[in-house]
């Protein structure tokens, strides 16, 4: 079978598996942002949430949907399917680049394909798929993979220039995945520029130097892309009068770094609620122990443990690169995609560098266990989000009954909604019977950007959002509001804990 035909069949299989993993969302789901989109409209959302943040491609997609009067269902499901298609392409490209510089056999190709799949479709990626922006998030990964390939495997100014252009496209598509360019370049270079005892010391030095050069180029490309994107954001802000507020100044970097150092272990332990607590640590510990035993047995001829540790360190650093510029959305999976991809890259290195048959079987077993857990985890997380949609509808119905009772008692219609944002009580954003606490299980009724949208959607009202004035808040606080909402005059005041 020709390689192109085989890749097409693998691509089709990957796409089908991805659909099965995300079937709960392909049957339609409502993210907190989806309620907001329905409430403010495509054009307002495109301008205030995509264009203002420099995501030009998403802005164009949303504006096209607005002009074509595309339904919200087609918009949500269509962008998700588009993201899954592009992601399947990422897996194929990643697999082919990894196998390009080595002798491969059927077993190795199968294992690398599986590892590549879960490098892309990792647990952090579940959150990416939650948003309509999933399609541009996937596009950014594809651009970064192609860029990394050019940096590592294609020399010359022309290829480096194309790599830079692709990096810029990737950042413009979605800034939050910028660190992925660095880690994927590092892994490609690590696998190509062999660092092992059977080579001469001079070769080892030369290869390490080349790896560092490749990573430096990738970092420079990512940085240039971020700078250009920020320039675009500032220009758009000057034109529209809408300035983004997420990214701080250069002086904030050191403060942000201190915060990252103090809190990064929480991300690795809890995995943003997208993967079982401590399971990432368990997998990494097992892998490092196996690598150490392998090195002892083979007298460290491949430096496997050092390579695994280096991938882990670079992945963690890349997972927090964006947070240096902003702590906005720090506790979200979409900004830490590189950390989610870490296990996949570690397993790829194990498969490619291992030369012992017994350890090959051990590493394959670890990969298979991780694969099944990842599939099951994805299905559970997406299912819990669908449960949240059900609970949101039930809570809105309770609020609707409350408003109807008020209207029948006072003969006044509730016309407005005011959001009372309360900080420091984020735990109230989640329903009590939801086990995973993550972005995808937010109760939209308690999110300040989504509350009006979810209420208007399920009640079929058209409540107008008004500012919470001091007088309005004072009158609201006089009431006994055990359920976190109340009505003052003709305005529904609702407490929100996520902002």
Q: What percent of the chain has pLDDT over 90?
A: 86
* pLDDT band with cut points at 50, 70 and 90 for residue 416: very high
What is the pLDDT averaged over residues 249-276? 90
pLDDT exceeds 90 at position 301 = no
Q: What is the mean pLDDT of residues 364-368?
A: 98
What is the predicted pLDDT for the residue at 375? 99
Q: Say whether pLDDT at 243 is over 80.
A: no
Cα–Cα distance measured from residue 127 to residue 440, given in angstroms and rounded to the nearest whole number: 6
Mean local confidence (pLDDT), 314-326:
93
- Residue 328: pLDDT band with limits 50, 70, 90: confident
What is the structure's pLDDT at 282? 98
**Mean pLDDT score of the chain:** 95
Q: Is the pLDDT of residue 198 over 70?
A: no
In the predicted structure, residue 425 carries a pLDDT above the cut 80: yes
Q: How far is CA 131 from the centre of its chain?
A: 9
C-alpha 237 chain-centroid distance:
25
Distance in angstroms (rounded) separating the CA atoms of residues 176 and 106? 35
* pLDDT higher than 90, residue 283: yes
pLDDT tens, 376-396? 999 999 999 999 999 999 999
Q: Which residues of 26-49 are buried (b: 16+ CB within 10 A; e: fewer)?
A: beebbbbbbbbbbbbebeebbbeb
What mean pLDDT do residues 319-344 have? 93
Average pLDDT of 427-435? 94
| The pLDDT of residue 142 is above 90 | yes
Position 104 pLDDT exceeds 80: no
Structural domain spans, the chain: 3-355, 395-496
Nearest Cα residue to 332 out of 14, 17, 31, 11: 31
Arithmetic mean of pLDDT, 307-318: 98
Is 451 within 8 Å of 494 (Cβ atoms)?
yes
The rounded percent of the chain whose pLDDT value lies above 70 is 97
pLDDT of residue 199: 63
Say what the pLDDT of residue 59 is.
Answer: 97
C-alpha 224/C-alpha 319 separation (Å) is 18
Residue 329: its pLDDT value, please?
Answer: 86
71: Cα within 13 Å, side-chain hemisphere: 4
Q: Which two tokens stand for residue 418?
A: 């005011």
pTM of the model: 0.94
Q: Is the pLDDT of residue 174 over 90?
A: yes
Q: What pLDDT score was predicted for residue 245?
A: 59
In sequence order, which residues have a C-beta less than 8 Å from that of residue 326 and are 6 or more positions away?
A: 246, 247, 248, 252, 256
In this predicted structure, the answer to whether residue 33 has a pLDDT above a threshold of 90 is yes
> pLDDT band for position 113 (50/70/90)?
very high
Q: What digits encode the pLDDT tens for the residues 57-89?
A: 999 999 999 999 999 999 999 999 999 999 999
How does residue 286 score in pLDDT terms, banded at 50, 70 and 90? very high
pLDDT tens-digit series, residues 449-487: 999 999 999 999 999 999 999 999 999 999 988 899 999
Where does the pLDDT of residue 240 fall: very low under 50, low under 70, confident under 90, or very high at 90 and above?
A: confident
pLDDT at 63: 98
- b/e sequence 61-75, b meaning 16+ C-beta within 10 Å: bbbebbeeeeebeeb
User: For 162-172, what is each residue's pLDDT tens digit?
Assistant: 999 999 999 99
Per-residue pLDDT, averaged over 94-106, amounts to 90
């Amino acid at each position: 079978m020709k390689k192109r035909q085989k890749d097409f069949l693998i691509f089709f299989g990957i796409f089908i598996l991805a659909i099965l993993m995300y079937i709960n969302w392909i049957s339609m789901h409502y993210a907190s942002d989806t309620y907001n989109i329905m409430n403010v409209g495509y054009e307002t959302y495109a301008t205030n949430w995509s264009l203002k943040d420099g995501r030009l491609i998403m802005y164009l997609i949303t504006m096209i949907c607005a002009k074509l009067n595309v339904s919200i269902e087609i918009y949500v499901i269509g962008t998700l399917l588009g993201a899954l298609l592009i992601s399947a392409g990422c897996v194929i490209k990643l697999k082919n680049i990894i196998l390009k510089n080595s002798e491969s056999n059927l077993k190795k190709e199968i294992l690398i394909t599986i590892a590549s799949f879960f490098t892309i479709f990792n647990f952090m990626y579940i959150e990416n798929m939650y948003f309509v922006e999933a399609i541009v998030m996937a596009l950014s990964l594809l651009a970064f993979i192609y860029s990394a390939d050019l940096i590592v495997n294609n020399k010359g100014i022309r290829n480096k220039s194309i790599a830079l252009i692709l990096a810029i496209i990737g950042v413009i598509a979605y800034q939050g995945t910028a660190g992925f360019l660095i880690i994927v370049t590092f892994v490609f270079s690590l696998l190509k520029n062999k660092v092992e005892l059977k080579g001469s010391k001079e070769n080892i030095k030369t290869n390490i130097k080349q790896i560092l050069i490749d990573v430096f180029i990738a970092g420079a490309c990512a940085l240039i892309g971020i700078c250009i994107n920020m320039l675009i954001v500032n220009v758009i802000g000057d034109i529209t009068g809408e300035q983004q507020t997420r990214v701080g100044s250069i002086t904030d970097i050191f403060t942000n770094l201190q915060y990252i150092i103090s809190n990064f272990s929480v991300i690795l332990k809890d995995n943003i609620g997208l993967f079982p607590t401590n399971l990432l640590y368990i997998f990494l510990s097992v892998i490092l122990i196996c690598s150490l035993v392998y090195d002892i047995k083979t007298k460290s001829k491949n430096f496997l443990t050092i390579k695994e540790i280096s991938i882990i360190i670079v992945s963690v650093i890349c997972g927090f690169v964006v947070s240096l510029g902003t702590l906005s959305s720090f506790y979200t999976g979409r900004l830490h995609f590189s950390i989610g991809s870490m296990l996949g890259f570690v397993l790829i290195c194990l498969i490619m560098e291992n030369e012992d048959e017994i350890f090959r079987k051990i590493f394959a077993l670890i990969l298979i266990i991780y694969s099944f857990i990842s599939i099951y985890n994805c299905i559970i997380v997406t299912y819990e989000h669908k449960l949240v949609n059900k609970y949101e509808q039930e809570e809105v119905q309770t609020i609707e009954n409350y408003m109807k009772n008020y209207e029948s008692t006072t003969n006044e219609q509730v016309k407005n909604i005011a959001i009372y944002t309360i900080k420091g009580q984020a735990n109230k954003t989640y329903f009590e019977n939801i086990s995973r606490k993550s972005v995808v299980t937010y109760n939209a009724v308690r999110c300040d950007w989504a509350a009006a949208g979810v209420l208007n959607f399920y009640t079929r009202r058209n409540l107008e959002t008004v500012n919470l004035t001091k007088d309005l808040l004072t009158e609201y606080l006089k009431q006994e509001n055990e359920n976190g909402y109340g009505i003052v005059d003709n305005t529904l005041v609702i407490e929100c804990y996520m902002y």
